[in-house]
Structure 1
Amino acid sequence: MSELDAQLRELATMPPAQLRSRWRDLFRQAAPAIAPDLLRRSIAWRLQERQHGRLAPSVKKKIVQLQKRLEKSGGADLTNDIALKPGTRLVREWNGKSYHVLVCEEGFEFDNRHYRSLSHIAEEITGAHWSGPRFFGLRKRGGFKPKVPADA
């Protein structure tokens, strides 16, 4: 058993006073007035964070997006999410011409212009409203079709 595993098991049996002391050691401030179970969870998070590192900024951003989606719609369905790494190039041939789109940190670049949506790019290319992910072959009609980028 690793040292981290031992510390996590120990948390399960710590009385509230000892949890508050452990909190003070880890967070360098007095423990908030919350239930012992929440103290345990927070302490466990901090211990794991120290062992394995913090969440990547992209993961934090995704959590915020999911939280907003959950607050807005009451659900955070992940089945239709498409994850494209920045630097990935999407290529689509349309009416005999090849079109290239670069995936950026915040949106997409096409024809030396920045776009927040693939659908806007698809409409720019075709002159008609299209689902951008569907137009670029990232989704089939009526369902999700994951596509692995060539650089992954």
Structure 2
Amino acid sequence: MPTEGHAERSDVQRAWEEAFGAPPPRFLSHSFMQRALIHDAQCRRHGSLPAKTLRTLRRLAEDAPTSRIAAPDLRPGAHLVREWNGRSYQVEVIEGGYRMDGRTWTSLSALARHITGTTWSGPRFFGLSGRRKIPA
């Protein structure tokens, strides 16, 4: 797979099959597949992935359900809104973190902890993770 430029989807799919031994699931985006292939090449060169990660990747490659679907890739400029205890919180995604009420946080979990006063998974608190079915 070329490392520079923008590889064609069919080239990326062939590279995926070579790397993971199965065609990619239909729902994977072109950019995700490219990033996964680059990560796989780094792991092969510098060391393997943890067993749990390998199992999850195998399930994804087989189109099998996994226990958790990753949160979507949030780009700067996106806004998250969450109501908690009668107040609406609006969070802006910025480069390298999140901004709310003029303050910046580096993780959604830290922001959720600030809002609730307890430990929360930030992506789960903002409704970005958990068991979800992705349309085919």
Question: In proportion to residue count, which structure has more helix?
Answer: 1
Q: How does 1:74-113 map to 2 (within 5 A)?
A: 75=53, 79-113=69-103
- Where 1:137 maps in the other structure, the secondary structure is coil
What's the counterpart of residue 133 of structure 1? 123
What's the counterpart of residue 50 of structure 2? 73
Between the aligned partners of 1:133 and 1:50, the Cα distance in structure 2 is 30
Q: Give the TM-score of the pair, scaled to structure 1.
A: 0.46
Between the two proteins, the alignment pairs up a number of residues equal to: 92
Alpha-carbon contact 1:138-1:145 (below 8 Å) kept: no
Q: Give the TM-score of the pair, scaled to structure 2.
A: 0.50
Equivalent residue letter for 1:87: G
Larger radius of gyration: 1
Q: How does 1:5-16 map to 2 (within 5 A)?
A: none
What's the counterpart of residue 29 of structure 1? none
Between the aligned partners of 1:131 and 1:122, the Cα distance in structure 2 is 7
Q: CA deviation at 1:104?
A: 1.1
Between the aligned partners of 1:126 and 1:87, the Cα distance in structure 2 is 24
Alpha-carbon contact 1:92-1:99 (below 8 Å) kept: yes
Q: CA RMSD in A?
A: 3.6
Query: Which segments of 5 or more consecutive residues in structure 1 lack a partner in the other structure?
Result: 1-40, 53-57, 147-152
Between the aligned partners of 2:6 and 2:128, the Cα distance in structure 1 is 37
Query: Which segments of 5 or more consecutive residues in structure 2 lack a partner in the other structure?
Result: 9-30, 58-68
Identity across matched positions, percent: 41
Counterparts in 2 of 1:51 and 1:80: CA distance versus 1, 3 Å: closer
4+ runs deviating over 3 angstroms: 48-52, 62-68, 74-79
Alpha-carbon contact 2:71-2:128 (below 8 Å) kept: no
Q: Deviations over 1:4-52 (max 9, x none)?
A: xxxxxxxxxxxxxxxxxxxxxxxxxxxxxxxxxxxxx6xxx37x83898
